[in-house]
Amino acid sequence: MRRIRMVIEYDGSNYHGFQIQQNAHTIQAELEKAIQNLTGEKTTLMFAGRTDAGVHALGQVAAFDTNSSIPPEKWRFALNSFLPPDIIIVHSEEARPDFHPRFHAVKKRYRYLIYRQREGAVFYRRYAYCNDEILDLAAMNQACQHIKGLHDFSSFCASGSATRTFEREVTECYVIEEDGFIKLEIEANGFLYNMVRIVTGTLLNVGRGIYTPQQVADIIAARDRNRAGATAPPQGLYLVHVTYPEN
């Protein structure tokens, strides 16, 4: 029995998220079906992050056990021939037997895209939040400095989370404007349910002048979801990269 690790890109537009759900179309279900069609083996994927409906990935990591003799680096090509065109394996390799994509991750990076122009929005509406409001980018970046660091992020967690602790350390957080987009880049040792989308909604309120950058520090300290901004739409969110100790 070997454990295979994969890095996966997917367009989440037509899926009810990554994780298998009863009577729902999911990324995990498509991957497990492809493995079974290729090898005849039924398997349960382990994965780094449970992305929600409509959320995309450039670097999702998953792993599974197999008795197949397919060389580790060939799984990428073999599985892609069984997958729909909106899911692609970009890398495959053998992992150590105890490797777990979620429990062994030390950092995750997400990106949120906001498309800034009215023209062309029809083409980007599934891959970015289309918003051409006037926004104060400098103020948004000042607010990002308050988000960085080790904090209790209860104010940035949607209801329904089963987490036992709300403390996370954000090591990178900034916004830039380029190529017609505002891009939020955020990296942390872990994220709460809808945390990046709530951070985005809060930063947008800073950009609009509804909150000052300093008020973001107050929102964090309040540990109250009602104090933060709205949850930004899912289609602008991308899981970009997962870091492991050996990276």
Q: How far apart are CA 196 and CA 215, in angstroms?
A: 18
* CA angle (141, 102, 106) in 5-degree steps: 50
Whole-number pLDDT of residue 247: 60
Residue-wise pLDDT tens digits, 6-55 = 999 999 999 999 999 988 999 999 999 999 999 999 999 999 999 999 99
Asked if 55 and 139 sit in the same domain, the reply is no
- What token pair was written down for 56? 């995309």
- From the list 52, 98, 132, 179, the catalytic residue is 52
DSSP 8-state secondary structure symbol assigned to residue 74: G
Q: What is the CATH number of the domain that holds 78?
A: 3.30.70.580
Examine residue 55 and state whether it is found in any structural domain, yes or no. Answer: yes
Tell me the per-residue pLDDT of 72-82, one tens digit each, with 9 for 90 and over.
Answer: 999 999 999 99
Whether 52 sits among the annotated catalytic residues: the reply is yes
Q: Of 95, 118, 136, which residue constitutes the final position of a domain?
A: 95
Tens of pLDDT, residues 150-198: 999 999 999 877 788 999 999 999 999 999 999 999 999 999 999 999 9
Continuous H helices in the chain: 27-39, 75-80, 121-124, 137-147, 195-208, 213-222
C-alpha triplet 44, 35, 79: angle, nearest 5°: 135
Q: Find out whether 171 and 189 touch, Cβ atoms under 8 Å.
A: yes
pLDDT tens digits, one per residue of 105-118 = 999 999 999 999 88
136 and 209, same structural domain? yes
pTM: 0.95
Which of 49, 69, 95 terminates a domain? The answer is 95
Residue-range definition of the domain harbouring residue 49: 2-95
Query: Which one-letter amino acid corresponds to residue 10?
Result: Y
227 and 167 part of one domain: yes
Is 102 within the bounds of a domain?
A: no
Residues 47 and 25 placed together within one structural domain of the fold: yes
Residue 9 lies in a domain: yes
